[in-house]
């Protein structure tokens, strides 16, 4: 069925956006603005592809992508949390570094056939018409994205540690006065965001396009950042936004395939144009934006100052 095929491709396109956005949401809830999602994502993609090629096991590649993303985020954490550098400038530098380093590391893998992470077959459920292939015959990253969504929502709004994290994001000075280790929580939050970005990158090189192509993240890290704002820092809204942007991405591909008389460059720009439009619409409701934005977002913290 054509509709079923379109839904499946939308899910594949939306999954890395949802995963990366959930990681960045936790990072920003702690008061840290990491604009290096694109860099961490592309490093996760090349790390996952390289390890999958060397071991012949895509699941080891997936773990490698997560590890590379987390380790790369530590560089951002050290610079911004320990050395107290500007978070915006450091995040941009991290993205540029990731794009350059991934191109150098992945040069030997260009054109090499990839090892695809196969969908999981669930006996009985996967054979259900329409619903089966869509919900019960997906790769493990799709199921991890749903588990992350549920887990992050519970953690932030139902757990004591999540309350501490949100308190730090809203007022790190008061949280520090109450005895909360602000830097420790922020380091862990940054690493979680990096791990999620690395997982999203691994999905790109092992599922979405099972091969290595330089700059294959193609701006998805920036869309993930926009998704966090789109969702007003609420996990469940990330899912809706991710699938909306995924549908726009796949929609422009199908439009090109149908031969619609519209410049291909315009269609390719649609997902990013949609991102800009959504952010403009959100910014018009300034009151809602201010209420949901972590008050300490992007502000440096130095203990006892």
Is 105 inside a domain boundary?
yes
Is 304 inside a domain boundary?
no
**Of residues 152, 20, 206, 11, the one with CA closest to residue 98:** 20
Q: How confident is the model at residue 290 (pLDDT cuts 50, 70, 90)?
A: low
Average pLDDT over residues 289-293: 71
- For residue 205, the surrounding DSSP H or E stretch is none
35-92 pLDDT tens trace: 999 999 999 999 999 999 999 999 999 999 999 999 999 999 999 999 999 999 999 9
Tell me the residue range of the domain where 275 lies: 2-292
- This prediction has a pTM of 0.92
pLDDT at 32 (0 to 100): 96
Q: Indicate which CATH number applies to the domain containing 285.
A: 1.10.3470
113-127 pLDDT tens trace: 889 999 898 888 888
Is 244 inside a domain boundary?
yes
* Count: domains in the chain: 1
Backbone angles phi, psi at 138, to 5 degrees: -120, 165
Share of the chain above pLDDT 90, in %: 58
186 three-state secondary structure = helix
Is 191 inside a domain boundary?
yes
Q: Name the DSSP letter for residue 123.
A: T
Is 94 inside a domain boundary?
yes
Is 303 inside a domain boundary?
no
119-163 pLDDT tens trace: 898 888 888 888 888 888 899 999 999 999 999 999 999 999 999
pLDDT at 241 (0 to 100): 87
Is 301 inside a domain boundary?
no
Is 231 inside a domain boundary?
yes
232-255 pLDDT tens trace: 899 998 998 899 888 887 777 667
**Of residues 154, 158, 155, 174, the one with CA closest to residue 295:** 174
């Amino acid at each position: 069925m054509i509709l079923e095929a379109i839904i499946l491709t939308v899910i594949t396109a939306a999954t890395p956006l949802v995963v990366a956005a959930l990681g960045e949401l936790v990072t920003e809830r702690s008061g840290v603005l990491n604009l290096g999602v694109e860099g961490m994502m592309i490093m996760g993609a090349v790390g996952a592809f390289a390890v999958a090629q060397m071991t012949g096991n895509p699941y080891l590649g997936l773990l490698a992508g997560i590890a590379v993303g987390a380790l790369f985020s530590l560089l951002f954490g050290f610079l911004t949390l320990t050395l107290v550098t500007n978070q915006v400038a450091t995040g941009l530098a991290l993205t540029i570094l990731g794009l350059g380093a991934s191109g150098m590391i992945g040069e030997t893998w260009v054109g090499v056939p990839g090892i695809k992470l196969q969908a999981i077959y669930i006996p009985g459920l996967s054979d259900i018409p329409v619903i089966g292939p869509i919900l019960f015959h997906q790769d493990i990253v799709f199921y991890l994205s749903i588990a992350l969504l549920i887990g992050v929502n519970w953690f932030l709004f139902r757990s004591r540690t999540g309350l501490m994290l949100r308190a730090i994001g809203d007022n790190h000075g008061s949280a520090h006065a109450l005895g909360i280790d602000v830097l420790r929580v922020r380091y862990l939050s940054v690493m979680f965001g990096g791990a999620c970005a690395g997982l999203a990158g691994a999905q790109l090189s092992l599922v979405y396009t099972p091969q290595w192509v330089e700059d294959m993240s193609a701006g998805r890290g920036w869309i993930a950042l926009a998704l966090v704002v789109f969702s007003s820092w609420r996990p469940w809204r990330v899912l809706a936004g991710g699938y909306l942007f995924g549908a726009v991405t796949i929609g422009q591909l199908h439009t090109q395939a149908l031969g619609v008389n519209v410049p291909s460059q315009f269609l390719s720009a649609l997902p990013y144009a949609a991102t800009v439009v959504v952010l403009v619409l959100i910014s018009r409701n300034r009151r809602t934006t201010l209420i949901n934005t972590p008050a300490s977002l992007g502000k440096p913290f130095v203990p006892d100052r």
